[in-house]
A and B are shown apart, each in its own frame.
Chain A
């Protein structure tokens, strides 16, 4: 079984809809991250969490919110989706006791907002 899973893997929705992307991990890591990837733009950090009670905004948090339900679960919500949020979304994890910057990525969720 994969260490970092994301659901759904693909989602098509309409403008104005609320969407939740979920991430679960079995690696036992305390840190979790949400990124979006657009063609030619690399990975941009949306939100990150260093433990259940610590959540921080990344570079591009506007229009997004997150919830860290447990150490193993980190969800990303789009309260009112808009077309320019069409992108590939990745969840990642890392261990605070391990190598800094050594992050493990989930398989990604491809989101299309019409």
Chain B
């Protein structure tokens, strides 16, 4: 059962454009929604995260938009650069006694053309 669904599977954007990756979840007990960035041959690295009590969080060119009623959240990369080319994963965590376990989306391969 895939509790976090991510789209698109792959995305091609021109340098300077906006990259948008979407995720939808089912479990209303999720209370923490991070995004991870992964370069080839490396492990994923935390990029930005949001909690459901805010609708938007921005860090530099990266913004998470969160819609609690729709159970959706998205990553926006403004002014996309070739160095942003990587695989991006959304994730969600259940609060309480979940031992911090994260459920990940399927991943999006982003390619930014110069």
Query: Do A and B belong to a common assembly?
Result: no
